[in-house]
A and B are shown apart, each in its own frame.
Chain A
Amino acid sequence: MYPFTYNQPVKGEDFYNREEVVKDILKETALGKTQGNVWITGERQVGKTSLLQHIQLSYADYKERIKLYGTGQEYKIAFIFANVQGYHTETAFYNALEDGIRNYFDYKLPNSENYFQDVVKYLYKEQNIFTIFLVDEFDAFIQNVAAISKKDAEQFLTNLASTLQGVSWLNNAKPFSFVFTSNNTIHELMEMCELKPRGSGLIIESKELMWFTKDQVTELAKHCLKDNEYCFDTDAINFCYKNAQGYPYFTQKLFSIMYDLRDKYDNKKKFLKEVKLLYGKEFAFTVKGWGGERMPKRTLNEIVKLAGNSDIRKFLFDTGMTIFKSMH
């Protein structure tokens, strides 16, 4: 089995280096006193989707009960994943959450006009289940709504802010928490979409999903090759870290190129030349695929810094991006 994963969410024991983030999310949404919500910001392909899917799968059978604030009652926790990238309306957003619930639970409620409310009520009141919605690509959804109507986007966020504190259809109880992922912070997103929602605002703790440290890159290499005869030496890992700086996608990508060319490692000079050539082309290809200068600004800024630190600048000329032309 190919040891490196870079174009799809990482699963199972290959999900690595995020134990602290997962613990923090659990504390903030359920296990701590706040029982609030979390906004995870990170660049493209930094591992946001992997993180949410890992939580849903790993905690599918979570045994720990929590006491909900102000109720004294114990609840089980269910983690429901939903990707909302392709949706454009508030109704579609809640339909996506409904689909997540339907996919997760064996028992089904009959469809109704207020299915989301009905099923959350049922889970909360009849099954004593507190739901944590893991909502992926939330900023894409907001941008979609805002592109059609800024007023609708503002109204959605105003309504959501109210929902995050409690719902009148459950006598102001708060039967769920939310974790959102986004390429942007809340402020960046509001500025980009020119939105000014009203009211109390989103009660939410923000977290940034960081790149891997050098130690984590070293551990990642060991982990991915643990069942392999081959392993990277210190020079190889240093080379990878120097060029990818721990950016998860590019780290895995570069490791995979180095792995493919491992038979040429004895001739280090030739090896590095070939790796740089292939990586440079892949980097440029990826940058173009992510939208070039139209990619999320946060990701673009990091890509530019990354390119500036690496040996592959000359390849970036091919992207046609102005910023890279000036670096050449």
Chain B
Amino acid sequence: MKTKRQKNEKVKTDLNPFIVGMPVWGDDFFGREDIVNSVTRFISSSNQYNYLIYGQRRIGKTSLLRKLEKEICPAKDVLAVYFNLQDKANAPLHILLHELAKHIVAVLDVNIDLPHEIFVKESASDYMQNVFFAELINRLPSGKPLVLLFDEFDVIGEAGNIRDEKVVGVRSYEQFIPFLTRLLGHVRDNDLNIKFIFAIGRNYKDLNSDRYGQITKFNEQIELKYFDKATVLALLQKTADAIPFTPESGDRLFELTSGQPYFTQALAGKTFEHAQEVKAECITLEMVNKCVPTAVKSYAGGVLWIWDTLRPADQVILYLMALSAENDTPVSKKNIKDKAVNMLLEPAIRELDEIIAGLLNINFIKKNNNSYLFATTFFREWIINEISEEDIKRLILT
């Protein structure tokens, strides 16, 4: 049995086990059994080629794709290649395809020539579709399926919308989706053993079907949601040997974050740090409450991108909700309207019913009898700390 001194010394040197923002896998990956099972069935199926994983920003899509790449697919004797499209949208298509081909060849360690002269302008997409993938399949161990995991797929599809510029030329945001559509058709028609999994940071119904076309007819799509309570409590067990969370503190942490993965890791991480600093024997409810402002401030940057996925109208209503009540108490439509009038923000509430319905649909708020609560207190705290009245008034003006 460890003495108090031994335990304290261990605690001082114990790494903070929570990982905020970076992708996780292995022992650090919690929950998601239903999704893993669904994707595993897709990978093992025949006649199914494209699968979509969607969800809010900072929900764990990249972690899931990396887990598929590193663990699930190898366990099923399936080859997997993860590719992030986020920084590729503005590149010409032939450069994206060259990078994709090089990456696939490097990860799978196959010897395929990628002649530079092929990857210039229009010839690249024909080469990839008609030659590269066929040659790749020939070089892979017989019968082994290949899964391509495309992350941030919506970034490449939406880049051309930014700043209302006319979309011209052969930039990837113009040409990659038509290329993928043709490739998918080619894979289906020739029964190639290749599957595609796409991840997007929004609701799939928001994908513009004019731009995404046939791609939106996914064989299956699944939404990544917040962790349930059991998963959060399992995650918090990571500190059990060092400084354990009490049952009350675990409950409180779940209450504050509703299982939103990024917020959960952020608050758990900061609370553990604090517990180490004060040499606590266990992590209490009071410590969790105390660390909310620190966690919100430390990880405000990541939450900004979640905020930016919302429409201006949604942002204004969430801001009014955040200010309408002391602490995290339910807010009625009347409260929101009164607040808007007090702040001279009446234009914001013209379509209040529709906005509220939308926010409920995308799980940013939840219903509480005839009132509404933030889905996560953490997000409410972030709004109060980070968003100013000036920011909101600017939104109304634009």
Interface of A toward B, CB cutoff 8 Å:
27, 31-36, 39, 69-70, 150-151, 154-155, 158-159, 161-163, 165-166, 168-169, 171-172, 174, 185-187, 190-191, 196, 198-208
Cross-chain contact of A199 among B66, B152, B386 (Cβ < 8 A): B152
- Whole-angstrom distance from the CB of B149 to the nearest CB of chain A? 10
Q: How far is the CA of A187 from the CA of B87 in the complex (A)?
A: 21
In the complex, given contacts A39-B301, A198-B158, what are 5 additional A-B residue pairs having Cβ atoms less than 8 angstroms apart?
A: A32-B16, A35-B22, A186-B301, A199-B86, A199-B152
Flag whether B178 is at the interface (Cβ < 8 A).
no
Contact between chains at A201 and B107 (CB < 8 Å): no
Residue of A nearest to B16 (CB): A32
Q: Is B354 an interface residue when CB atoms closer than 8 A count as contact?
A: no
A314 to chain B, nearest CB (A): 31
The reply to whether the CB of B26 lies closer than 8 angstroms to some CB of chain A is yes
> Which stretch, B122-130, B292-300, B317-325, touches the partner chain A?
B292-300
User: In whole angstroms, what is the CA distance A187 to B303 when docked?
Assistant: 10
Q: Is B92 among interface residues, defined by CB-CB distance under 8 A? A: no
The distance in angstroms between the C-alpha atoms of A162 and B23, with both chains bound, is 12
Least Cβ distance of A273 to chain B in Å? 41
Contact A34 B21 (CB under 8 A): yes
A186 CB contacts on chain B under 8 angstroms: 300-301, 304
Interface residue B57 (Cβ < 8 Å from any Cβ of A)? yes
Given the known A-B contacts A27-B16, A165-B23, A204-B21, are A199 and B155 also in contact in the complex, defined by CB atoms under 8 Å? yes
In this complex, what residue of A is CB-closest to B69? A172
Indicate if B393 sits at the interface (CB-CB under 8 A): no
CB-CB nearest in chain A for B66: A172
B396 interface residue (CB < 8 Å to A): no
* B162 CB-CB contact with A under 8 Å: yes
B99 at the interface (CB under 8 A from A): yes
B308 contacts A by Cβ under 8 Å:
yes
- Tell me the bound Cα distance from A163 to B88 in angstroms: 11
Q: Known contacts being A165-B22, A185-B300, is A172 close to B82, with CB within 8 Å?
A: yes
Output the nearest chain B residue to A202 by Cβ-Cβ distance: B301
As a 0/1 sequence over residues 245 to 266 of chain B, the CB contacts with chain A under 8 angstroms (1 = contact) are 0000000000000000000000
What is the CB-to-nearest-CB distance from B157 to chain A, in angstroms, rounded to a whole number? 10
Q: How far, in whole Å, are A191 and B305 apart by their CA atoms in the complex?
A: 13
A166–B22 alpha-carbon span in the complex (Å): 9
Rounded to whole Å, the gap between the CB of B91 and the closest CB of chain A is 10
Assess A162 versus B22: contact at CB under 8 Å? Given A33-B16, A200-B201.
no
Is the Cβ of A203 less than 8 Å from the Cβ of B297?
no
Contact, CB under 8 Å: B89 / A158: yes
When the two chains form their complex, are residues B155 and A36 in contact, meaning their CB atoms are under 8 A apart? no
Q: How many A-B residue pairs have CB under 8 A?
A: 126
- Contact size range, B: 35 or more
Q: Is there an interface contact between A198 and B20, defined as CB atoms closer than 8 Å? A: no
Residue of A nearest to B306 (CB): A201
CA distance A202 to B305 in the complex (A): 8
- Closest-CB distance, B95 to chain A (whole angstroms): 12
Tell me which of A32, A172, A187, A206 contacts B15 (CB under 8 A): A32
B26 adjacent to A70 (CB under 8 Å): yes
* A-B CB contact pairs (8 Å), 28 listed: A33-B16, A33-B17, A33-B19, A34-B269, A151-B162, A151-B163, A151-B165, A159-B87, A163-B87, A165-B84, A169-B103, A185-B300, A186-B301, A187-B300, A187-B301, A198-B89, A198-B155, A199-B155, A199-B201, A200-B57, A200-B62, A200-B86, A200-B201, A200-B305, A201-B58, A201-B305, A205-B301, A208-B297
State the CA gap A205–B308 with chains docked (Å). 18
- Cα distance A186–B301 when bound, in Å? 6
A171–B103 CB distance below 8 A: yes
Q: Are A70 and B70 in contact (CB under 8 A)?
A: yes
Q: Is the CB of B21 within 8 A of A203?
A: yes
Asked if B330 is at the interface of the complex by the 8 Å CB criterion, the answer is: no
Identify A166's interface contact among B26, B84, B391, CB under 8 A.
B84
Docked complex Cα distance between A56 and B90 (Å): 34
> Which B residues lie within 8 Å of A204 (CB)?
21, 301-302
Chain A residues near B83 (CB, 8 Å)? 168
B51 at the A interface (CB under 8 A): no
| Chain A residue with Cβ nearest B70 | A70
Please tell me if B25 contacts chain A, counting CB pairs below 8 Å. yes
Chain B positions within 8 Å of A201 at CB level: 57-58, 301-302, 304-306, 308
B379 at the interface (CB under 8 A from A): no
What sequence of 0s and 1s flags, for each residue 66-92 of chain B, a beta carbon within 8 Å of any chain A beta carbon? 100010000000000011101101100
Contact A205 B298 (CB under 8 A): yes
